[in-house]
Amino acid sequence: MRLMQFAPMTLLLAGFAAQPAFAVLKVGDQAPDFAAEAALGGSPFTFKLSEALAKGPVVLYFYPKAFTTGCTIEANAFAEATPRFRALGATVIGISNDTIETLKRFSVEACRNQFAVAADARSKVIQAYDAASTFSRSMAARVSYVIDGSGRIVFTHDSMSPEGHVTETLKVIERLQARTGQPSSTTAPRPSRPAPP
């Protein structure tokens, strides 16, 4: 009987946890430029979207909270796929409203030194990308964007489930690379041979 008293509250809380973002930017929208404190392999640096886009497309993914189960699963999946993203010329960056100190650890433990995570403690980037959770406007929902080299959003994936974000964004990056036909930015150019005398 006592369990039945808590069932409605449990369902209500589960509903909040599964809510997608309040709204997301649309395909074709210009991606808001930003710079943010970030960490890669435990080392802090300033991530600048404009600099990353100069090298190729960017997979920008928002997640609610470092070291929670879903966010750790998602970070592990992006870490495993990052060499493939990199080979296709894409940069992966995760963003949450965690502190940079927390993200230094998260970038090592969950991201496995493979990609950077940025701190958005004031939720300015979260708000600019309409990636706020409906549960808390200062916390990110789980939203992934693919931004092409021109700075346009070419794909969005809005789901609180950590599954699907990596596979769907990777498919889009593969299509972008196939369409442009350009070698990835991580492919070293072949050295030219001097002409024979």
Report the distance separating Cα 96 and Cα 34, nearest Å: 14
Which residue would you say has higher pLDDT here, 186 or 157? 157
Following CA atoms 41, 140, 37, 90 in sequence, which dihedral angle do they give, to the nearest 10 degrees?
A: 60
This prediction's pTM: 0.81
Average pLDDT of the residues in 150-167: 94
**Lowest-confidence range among 47-61, 87-101, 148-162, 179-193?**
179-193
Pair 60, 147: CB distance under 8 Å: yes
pLDDT band at 197; cut points 50, 70, 90? very low
Cβ-based neighbour number of residue 194 at 10 Å: 6
Pairing of the two strands 58-62 and 143-147 = antiparallel
**Cβ partners under 8 Å of residue 103, min gap 6:** 38, 39, 66, 96, 117, 118, 119
Phi, psi for 101 (deg, rounded to 5):
-65, -45
Q: Which domains does the chain have, with CATH numbers?
A: 21-180 (3.40.30.10)
Q: Would you please indicate which residues are annotated as catalytic (active-site) residues?
A: 71
Average pLDDT of the residues in 90-117: 97
